[in-house]
DNA sequence: AGAAAATTTAACCAAAAGGTTAAACCAACG
DNA sequence: CGTTGGTTTAACCTTTTGGTTAAATTTTCT
């Protein structure tokens, strides 16, 4: 049951992440976190003073890992089309492995935008500007159709993330088993990029 | 304060919808619902026995209004491209007016897929099949590029809904005021359709 | 071995929240 | 006028839950 490798603190953070991602802040129970970590409530509070503190830790951990990863590719000096292929491919791969993340992030971002605001503005602004400039230049050079970088980015992020949020609906609506759905997501790792490229190519 | 037109029951349902959409099931407080409806807790329980009963009512009301609306256009015998234009246009318009809906539905759908399952399978399956057939035929006739109707539908729904879920992020990331964001969404009502059509046109 | 830190046990506290109850109040209606 | 049903008031109950405490036990490290 106990992996001697992982410290108690890590065990707690893992359990807390699991529970918070599934149930949200209000829906999560400290008792359940303790149970899943294989410890008791007293020890849980011994490590993390309060539920809110623990939650904040999970949020910043989640955003801190997902945001840099998301923006890293935006800053490379790849060709635009190649960059789009990489973005789509890597983002979908990441979300596939962390399928509870999107719903959690989306909830937290809507519940408390301030927090996200600080994370984003300070460090990560340049990455977006690079992408923006790249799109604008490609438009100016007539290499792609006139498209706003804002709209393009929204389209990309939407097609990458949303299917995981709507998974239960899509699965039923399209009559897919869990494995078939996963397979469909694998397909998207290349198809969405080509879809986008066809849409903007002159 | 009290509109004599709306009955108490309606006042409660409106208040409950507002609170549940904002806070979710676990985060909502019966007291707050009572306050917003302008009544007291005793009367609230006099009309709706329990929180869960009330919540279920709000959920089925939300799904019951959004689902038929979503699927209505899918069943018309419009030309495929024209249908896509209508779908995008109307869906975005609807979500714009009910901006709390997407997050609520997405949460509920992931929390309790069964409920949605029943609503969808029983009545609304034919609509999807019509669209599916239409896409497959267009592919067979070589009028559009080979694309799976499943992928196409996911792309469409994603680009329509997700920007509203990620609104706080996009607003900050793209440096938009609330009005500018709304304007960008207005643009999407036509641009997303053209984006899709360019992507699938031969 | 012995001090220090981690962990358990178990009882306990206080606040929040869902829900109930009974009595009184009030407006509509026959 | 009196009944009826909606509504308020206010007290109350119960359960859940976040959080605490103190003592005992185990582990770790020197």
Tens of pLDDT, residue by residue over B41-60, are: 999 999 999 999 999 999 99
- pLDDT at position B123 over 70: no
- Mutation target among A164, A172, A181, A197 for the B interface, most CBs of B within 10 A: A172
Instruction: Choose among B25, B162, B199: nearest Cβ to A199.
Output: B199
How much of chain A is in helix, strand and coil states, percent to nearest 5?
80, 0, 15
Instruction: Choose among A24, A154, A168: nearest Cβ to B163.
Output: A154
Nearest Cα of chain A lies from the Cα of B195 at a distance, in angstroms, of 5
Residue B131 contacts residue A171 (beta carbons within 8 Å): no
Please report, for chain A, the start and end positions of each structural domain, with discontinuous segments joined by +: 1-49, 60-200
pLDDT tier for residue B131 given thresholds of 50, 70 and 90:
very high
Structure confidence by residue, pLDDT tens digits, B81-107: 999 999 999 999 999 999 999 999 999
Q: Which residues of B touch A172 (CB under 8 A)?
A: 113, 116-117, 120-121
According to the model, what pLDDT value does residue B27 have? 94
List residues bridging with B66 in a β-sheet: none
Contacts of A133 (CB under 8 A, 6+ apart): none
According to the model, what pLDDT value does residue A1 have? 40
Query: Who has greater pLDDT, A192 or A120?
Result: A192
Residue A105 contacts residue A161 (beta carbons within 8 Å): no
According to the model, what pLDDT value does residue B3 have? 46
Interface touch A188/B151, C-beta < 8 Å = yes
According to the model, what pLDDT value does residue A128 have? 85
Tell whether A55 is within 8 A of chain B (Cβ): no
pLDDT tier for residue B126 given thresholds of 50, 70 and 90:
confident
HEC per residue, chain B: CCCCCCCHHHHHHHHHHHHHHHHHHHHCCHHHHHHHHCCCHHHHHHHCCCHHHHHHHHHHHHHHHHHHHHHHHHHCCCCHHHHHHHHHHHHHHHHHHCCCHHHHHHHHHHHCHHHHHHHHHHHHHHHHHHHHHHHHHHHHCCCECCCCHHHHHHHHHHHHHHHHHCHHHHHHHHCCCHHHHHHHHHHHHHHHHHHHHHHHEC
Query: Who has greater pLDDT, A116 or B159?
Result: B159
Structure confidence by residue, pLDDT tens digits, B132-189: 999 999 999 999 999 999 999 999 999 999 999 999 999 998 999 999 999 999 999 9
CA dihedral B21, B25, B29, B33 (to 10 degrees): 40
Kindly report the length of chain A. Answer: 202
Coil vs helix vs strand at A24: helix
pTM for the structure as a whole? 0.92
C chain positions with any atom within 7 Å of a protein CB = 6-11, 17-22
Q: Residue B24, by phi and psi: left (phi above 0), alpha (psi -120 to 50) or beta?
A: left
Among chain B residues, CA nearest to A124: B173
Query: Among all strands, which nt has the closest C1' to B53 (CA)?
Result: C18
- pLDDT at position B120 over 80: no
Coil vs helix vs strand at A99: coil
Tell whether B116 is within 8 A of chain A (Cβ): yes
Instruction: Give Cα B175 distance to the centre of its chain.
Output: 26
Closest C-alpha to A188, from A88, A57, A44, A69: A88
> Who among residues 27-56 of A has its Cβ near strand C, under 7 Å?
38-43, 46-47
d(CA B51, CA B112): 16
Structure confidence by residue, pLDDT tens digits, A1-43: 444 568 999 999 999 999 999 999 999 999 999 999 999 999 9
- Mutation target among B51, B71, B107, B168 for the A interface, most CBs of A within 10 A: B168
Tell whether A191 is within 8 A of chain B (Cβ): yes
Q: How many CB atoms lie within 10 A of CB B46?
A: 12
- pLDDT at position A140 over 90: yes
pLDDT tier for residue A119 given thresholds of 50, 70 and 90:
confident
Among chain A residues, CA nearest to B131: A174
According to the model, what pLDDT value does residue A26 have? 95
Q: Residue A154, by phi and psi: left (phi above 0), alpha (psi -120 to 50) or beta?
A: alpha
Q: Which residue is nearest to nucleotide C21 (CA to C1')?
A: B42
Tell whether A202 is within 8 A of chain B (Cβ): no
Topology, domain B1-49: Arc Repressor Mutant, subunit A (1.10.10)
- pLDDT at position A117 over 90: no
Residue B165 contacts residue B102 (beta carbons within 8 Å): yes
According to the model, what pLDDT value does residue B25 have? 96
Query: Among all strands, which nt has the closest C1' to A45 (CA)?
Result: D19
pLDDT tier for residue B117 given thresholds of 50, 70 and 90:
confident
D chain positions with any atom within 7 Å of a protein CB = 6-11, 17-22
Interface touch B200/A200, C-beta < 8 Å = no
According to the model, what pLDDT value does residue A5 have? 63
Residue B56 contacts residue B149 (beta carbons within 8 Å): no
Nearest Cα of chain A lies from the Cα of B42 at a distance, in angstroms, of 24
Contact, B50 CB vs strand C, < 7 Å: yes
Structure confidence by residue, pLDDT tens digits, A62-86: 988 888 888 888 888 899 999 999 9
Instruction: Choose among A151, A157, A195: nearest Cβ to B166.
Output: A157
Instruction: Choose among A24, A113, A200: nearest Cβ to B26.
Output: A24
> Which CATH number fits the domain A60-200, given the four candidates 3.40.228.10, 3.40.220.10, 1.10.357.10, 3.60.15.10?
1.10.357.10
- pLDDT at position A141 over 50: yes
Residue A173 contacts residue B154 (beta carbons within 8 Å): no
């Amino acid at each position: 049951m106990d992996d001697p490798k992982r410290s108690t603190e890590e065990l707690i953070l893992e359990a807390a992440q699991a529970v918070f991602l599934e149930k949200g802040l209000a829906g999560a129970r400290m008792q359940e976190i303790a149970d899943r970590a294989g410890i008791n409530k007293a020890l849980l509070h011994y490590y993390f003073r309060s539920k809110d503190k623990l939650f904040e830790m999970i949020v910043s951990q989640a955003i801190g890992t997902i945001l840099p990863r998301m923006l890293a590719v935006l800053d490379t000096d790849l060709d635009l089309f190649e960059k789009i292929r990489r973005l789509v491919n890597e983002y979908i791969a990441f979300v596939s492995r962390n399928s509870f993340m999107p719903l959690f992030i989306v909830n937290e971002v809507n519940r408390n935008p301030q927090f996200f605001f600080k994370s984003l503005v300070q460090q990560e602004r340049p990455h977006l500007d690079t992408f923006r400039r790249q799109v604008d230049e490609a438009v100016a050079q007539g290499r792609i159709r006139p498209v706003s970088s804002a709209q393009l980015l929204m389209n990309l992020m939407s097609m990458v993330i949303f299917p995981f949020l709507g998974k239960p609906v899509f699965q039923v609506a399209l009559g897919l088993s869990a494995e078939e759905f996963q397979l469909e997501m694998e397909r998207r790792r290349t198809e969405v990029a080509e879809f986008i490229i066809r849409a903007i190519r002159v």
